[in-house]
């Protein structure tokens, strides 16, 4: 398969790192680098042409700062059980626990591109708030579908749908 040029983003929340990567496929990029997105929106790709981004071949021995760390992280993950086990799912349901200032459990419906479709945030008092794309100010964060920790976070559709039905909309729509 011939090499193609892909626009790749590592979104770290309040910003992102961008590169052009030459690879055989989107999947090869995703299997090689942790926590990246291959951006295929034509308008974004056209804008990126003027950004003077680093361009590298996927197998290059030396990579730009940031990208080298994402490859090293993926290399560590590849040896773990569960690596890539959920990568080919069309829909995935996950439970993630947040132990921050306001602890909560998040039940999420994830699409084939790794983006959140719907989410239920369950507070410590067991009340749930449901949100979807209309509620998110920015694009929903992407889940790295090759992450070997994901299989331990998977739940079934029924559990998600029960929580979704019991939750209320944040803005009481």
pLDDT tens-digit map of 68-88: 999 999 999 999 999 999 999
Q: Give the pLDDT confidence score for residue 161 in this predicted structure.
A: 98
Q: Are strands 92-98 and 104-110 parallel, antiparallel or unpaired?
A: antiparallel
Q: How many domains does the chain have?
A: 2
Name the pTM for this structure. 0.86
Tens of pLDDT, residue by residue over 35-66, are 999 999 999 999 999 999 999 999 999 999 99
Residues 152 and 118 occupy one common structural domain:
yes
Tokens representing residue 92 in the block: 């995935």
The residue among 130, 134, 126 whose CA lies nearest residue 109 is 130
Express the helix, strand and coil content of the chain in percent, nearest 5 each.
Answer: 25, 30, 45
Instruction: List the helix and strand counts (H, then E) for the chain.
Output: 4, 9
Last residue of a domain, one of 78, 105, 123: 78
Confirm whether 84 is domain-assigned. Answer: no
């Amino acid at each position: 398969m011939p090499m193609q040029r892909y626009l790749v983003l590592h979104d770290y929340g309040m910003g992102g790192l961008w590169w052009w990567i030459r690879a055989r496929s989107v999947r090869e990029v995703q299997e090689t680098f942790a926590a990246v997105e291959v951006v295929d929106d034509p308008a974004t790709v056209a804008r990126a042409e003027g950004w003077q981004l680093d361009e590298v071949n996927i197998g290059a021995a030396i990579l730009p700062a940031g990208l080298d760390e994402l490859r090293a992280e993926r290399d560590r993950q590849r040896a773990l059980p569960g690596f890539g086990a959920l990568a080919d799912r069309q829909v995935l349901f996950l439970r993630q626990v947040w132990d921050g200032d306001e602890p909560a459990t998040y039940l999420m419906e994830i699409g084939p591109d790794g983006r959140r479709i719907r989410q239920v945030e369950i507070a410590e008092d067991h009340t749930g708030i449901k949100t979807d794309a209309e509620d998110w100010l920015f694009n929903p964060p992407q889940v790295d579908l090759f992450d070997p920790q994901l299989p331990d976070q998977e739940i079934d559709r029924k559990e998600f749908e029960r929580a979704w039905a019991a939750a209320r909309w944040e803005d009481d729509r």
